[in-house]
Amino acid sequence: MIKFIDAFGRKPETTFEQFSTHYANVHAGIARNGSLHQIARYVQNHRIVDAPNEPWSALAPWAADAAAEVWFASGTGVLDMIAEPTAKALLADEANFMDMNFQRHPIIAREHGDGGSSAAQAVKVQLWFRRRPGTDFDEFADRIRSESFDALSEAVGANDHVINVRDSEFSFGDADVERADEDGESFDAVRELWFPDLETISTAAKSWSSSWAELIAPSIIDTKRSHRLVVVEKEFALNAH
């Protein structure tokens, strides 16, 4: 199983509420009512507007308002889906609520862990990592997948922990995918942590400062080019036809 992960911002002249409503209702409606049989699972992540900034001071600020996560059985499924009329309709709808100038760096990743498999949880944290300059990708991937991070996530009160590591062999090839990615700086991994509430996050950052720092900003990442997104997730069942 592989996962497509893509973060984006809202259209400048829209409020967050307008953006979020369109994303959850209109955009998801196109996906639900169309034909995207290649997709195994579809999750939207909507930013929590009042999430505290202090726990993430080690990471660079980010203007992302949401992120999509889409699971596929294989890379072939991703490329087949892109050619579907429903996928083209989804791409056309993006201009209605997304900031088309937002620098998007979607990744195809391999998921390690089984977080988020339980009932809906109140808060999810996505940590979008780029590796430190000069670090070999394979070395980065091995270290970021270390089981020690599972222990750290438990220590700070996270209910679940997943690390999504970019599939370095995947390529969109000649597929017609509109993405603002001129600088070619793809993310290398996305860490996901689930917490019961925002208060637990603030407490963890203060009470477990060393564990928190290693979990949120491990030494192998480039903190100036890595970001965080605190969200609520919404899962949608798609038609299987």
Residue-wise pLDDT tens digits, 189-203? 999 999 999 999 999
| Model pLDDT, residue 178 | 46
Structure tokens at 201: 């996050």
Residue 76 has pLDDT above 90, yes or no: no
> Per-residue pLDDT tens for 95-148?
999 999 999 999 999 998 766 554 456 899 999 999 999 999 999 999 999 988
Instruction: Mention every residue, 6+ apart, whose C-beta is less than 8 A from residue 210.
Output: none
pTM: 0.91
- Report the distance separating Cα 198 and Cα 194, nearest Å: 10
Closest to 190 in 3D by CA, of 144, 235, 232? 144
Domains of the chain with CATH codes: 2-236 (3.30.70.100)
> Per-residue pLDDT tens for 147-188?
889 999 999 999 999 999 999 888 776 554 544 344 557 899
Rounded to 10°, the helix 209-216/198-207 angle is: 110
| Model pLDDT, residue 121 | 63
Q: Tell me what percent of the chain is helix, strand and coil, each rounded to the nearest 5.
A: 30, 25, 40
For CA atoms 8, 230, 54, 128, give the dihedral sign: negative
